Chain A
Amino acid sequence: MAGADKQALDAIFKEVFEEGVAEGVNNKNPLRDVIKTERVPFRGREIVRLSHTGRNVSPMFVGEDSAFADAGNQSYSRMFVDQRKLMSRLRMTWEVMQDSTSNEGAFISARKSEMQYLIDDMARRDEYALNSEGRGILALVDDSNPDGDTTLTVDAPGGITNDNFGNRFMSKGMYIAFVNPANGVLRTQGAIAAKITGVSNDGTSVTLNNNLIGTDVADSDYIVQAANSATSDILDTSYEHAWWGVMALVDDGTYRASYFGLDRTQVPAYSSYVTASTGPLSTDLIQRVGDIVDQKLNGKISMMLAHHSTRRLIIQLTDQDRRYMGASLLRPDPGTVAFKQGDLPFGDVPIRALRDFPLDVLMFLDLNNAGFREYVSEPGKWVDEDGSVLWRVGTGTAGRDAFEAWYRMRKQYFLEYPAYCARLDGVTGQSLVVQRAAGS
């Protein structure tokens, strides 16, 4: 039928753009908010902490004129706290900066977008590191013969034992490398720096841009982030360059046998109470851990941390007993404060669910006495020692009308008294829903 309709006059219509940009990236970093650290400036080669680690054992009950014990002495140990660095960079052409400066030309200024969101992305990596053990491990290889794979199966996200959701810290676009866990050496054969082109929805694998995984890559090798496709030096990977997270600080040697140079098996004060292969949770078990921390070093648990799937197990502990639901039985409320992501209490101690926390771990923290510290040499800053945040890319034939900016953070986390805290590993019974944080 002839006449004017929207299809015929399509050319006259404008697109109407809403102001602002919708946020599709989950920028909440809850563990960073939980760990209220004492910030201490870093100087010199490394921070040396002296620790009183043993007593004089000569005090002895004796009879009249009897011999008594030989002289003893106090024991001291030194700990050496280093610094770990997180770097990032962005690159923009002059055109993208110039053409996006006005509201008429762009939703958001490219310069503002790139520089502001990069800091959020740094915070995201900070959160990942804080949930892991400081080796910069993304996951472990979960394939007995990965040689030549383009789909690589992975497990143990962040290096923390678990068969599920191995790709939770791996993102499309990252270059990866493989590290021999026996000696910390980069695997050498094949193209060691493959690029991730996709992450599976079920959390078990990543796809790579080539099939050149080396023949010496083995099951349970560390997968770490590489700087670029040409990476052939362990220095150019994230391996052992992340700051220590809570799984290293609150530990008994499972993930960090050496606590800043001090053998955890020799000094109980620096070893947390950790139960491996815990199994099902119970109220008695949780109470037991609180008691042990008190017996060991007079610790008083003030917060518990868990992944959401583990927190649901704690909710289930009282399912059968929450029979009087809400103020009125006409409007029964079978939920708990956890439904609105509030802190579920256990003995008045809040249980906080964290999206990046190890999947089968329940951690007990004495935040008042354990002494979380953050030794900082650079809390976060655009690199500008040469007087400019943005500088030209290249010179001569390599010169381009584009600009780069770098951002750096440098610090290390430290826990004064790990024995004030505890951990239950290998909690079973969860119904895990694999759900990536939006934007990662």
Chain B
Amino acid sequence: MEYVTLVNRSSKTLEGVWDGRHYDLKPGKHSFPEAMAMKFKDQNPIMGTEDPMSLQRQHLIGIEEFGDNCSPIEQSTAPVMNAGTLEKIRKGELILVRADHPFNRIVDSAPSPFAVASDGKTDTSFVKP
């Protein structure tokens, strides 16, 4: 059984489940067997970051031995995309914002009219016709 270094990249305690046991993962480094660390990573994605083409996600947990990004990062606070938020997008109450990856779309609350920006920020030049 090979142990790896798991890094909780966030500032909050995360939870991982393996063999029916719930583990509290405090911010910082921990040592776990590889299979457990991989599962914990999978259980803690940054919501809204899945690439629909490659299905790759960003995670709040990195594994040093795998060369993962272990720099600090926090969970997305964007509303969960579901039927309710889709309806709000239609009404212009929520706005689609482009995230880091070109395929990603996350929903962010915004007072401005419906617009899609190219730089990850609200397009202030957009004028509603």
Tell me the A residues contacting B by CB distance below 8 Å. 133, 135, 137, 140, 156, 159, 161, 181-182, 219-220, 252-258, 265, 275-277, 279-280, 284, 313, 316, 319, 426, 428-429
Is A277 a contact of B44 with CB atoms below 8 Å?
Answer: yes
- Enumerate chain B residues within 8 angstroms of A252, measured Cβ to Cβ: 39
Is A257 a contact of B19 with CB atoms below 8 Å?
Answer: yes
B82's closest neighbor in chain A, by CB? A429
Distance in angstroms between the alpha carbons of A207 and B42 in the assembled complex: 35
Nearest Cβ distance between residue B8 and chain A, in whole angstroms? Answer: 15
Contact A254 to B18, CB < 8 A, known contacts A276-B42, A277-B43? yes
B46's closest neighbor in chain A, by CB? A277
A interface footprint on B1-40 (CB within 8 Å = 1, 0 otherwise): 0000000000000010111111010000000000100010
Distance in angstroms between the alpha carbons of A277 and B17 in the assembled complex: 11
- Enumerate chain A residues within 8 angstroms of B80, measured Cβ to Cβ: 279-280, 428-429
Contact A256 to B17, CB < 8 A, known contacts A220-B24, A426-B43, A429-B82? no
Q: Is the interface of A mostly helix, strand, loop or mixed?
A: loop
Other A-B contacts than A137-B20, A161-B22, A255-B20, 17 sampled, CB-CB below 8 A, are A181-B21, A220-B24, A253-B18, A253-B39, A254-B17, A254-B19, A254-B39, A256-B19, A257-B18, A276-B39, A276-B42, A277-B44, A280-B81, A284-B52, A313-B82, A429-B82, A429-B83
Distance in angstroms between the alpha carbons of A140 and B42 in the assembled complex: 22
A135's closest neighbor in chain B, by CB? B20
Would you mind naming 17 contact pairs between A and B with Cβ atoms under 8 Å apart? Answer: A159-B20, A161-B15, A220-B22, A220-B24, A255-B17, A255-B19, A257-B19, A257-B35, A265-B35, A276-B43, A280-B80, A280-B82, A428-B80, A428-B82, A429-B80, A429-B82, A429-B83
A interface footprint on B46-79 (CB within 8 Å = 1, 0 otherwise): 0100101000000000000000000000000000
Is B21 a contact of A279 with CB atoms below 8 Å?
Answer: no
Is B82 a contact of A161 with CB atoms below 8 Å?
Answer: no
B81's closest neighbor in chain A, by CB? A280
Distance in angstroms between the alpha carbons of A250 and B18 in the assembled complex: 14
Q: Is B45 an interface residue (CB 8 A)?
A: yes
- Enumerate chain B residues within 8 angstroms of A426, measured Cβ to Cβ: 43
- Enumerate chain A residues within 8 angstroms of B19, measured Cβ to Cβ: 253-258
Nearest Cβ distance between residue B9 and chain A, in whole angstroms? Answer: 15
A220's closest neighbor in chain B, by CB? B22
Distance in angstroms between the alpha carbons of A66 and B47 in the assembled complex: 53
Distance in angstroms between the alpha carbons of A148 and B71 in the assembled complex: 40
- Enumerate chain A residues within 8 angstroms of B21, measured Cβ to Cβ: 181-182
Distance in angstroms between the alpha carbons of A252 and B42 in the assembled complex: 12
Distance in angstroms between the alpha carbons of A145 and B20 in the assembled complex: 22
- Enumerate chain B residues within 8 angstroms of A275, measured Cβ to Cβ: 42
Contact A156 to B42, CB < 8 A, known contacts A265-B35, A428-B82? no
- Enumerate chain A residues within 8 angstroms of B45, measured Cβ to Cβ: 277, 279
Distance in angstroms between the alpha carbons of A37 and B15 in the assembled complex: 35
- Enumerate chain A residues within 8 angstroms of B15, measured Cβ to Cβ: 161
A263's closest neighbor in chain B, by CB? B35
Nearest Cβ distance between residue A281 and chain B, in whole angstroms? Answer: 9
Is A319 a contact of B18 with CB atoms below 8 Å?
Answer: no
- Enumerate chain B residues within 8 angstroms of A161, measured Cβ to Cβ: 15, 17, 22
Is B20 a contact of A256 with CB atoms below 8 Å?
Answer: yes
- Enumerate chain B residues within 8 angstroms of A181, measured Cβ to Cβ: 20-22
Distance in angstroms between the alpha carbons of A219 and B20 in the assembled complex: 15
- Enumerate chain A residues within 8 angstroms of B43, measured Cβ to Cβ: 276-277, 426
- Enumerate chain B residues within 8 angstroms of A137, measured Cβ to Cβ: 20
- Enumerate chain A residues within 8 angstroms of B52, measured Cβ to Cβ: 284
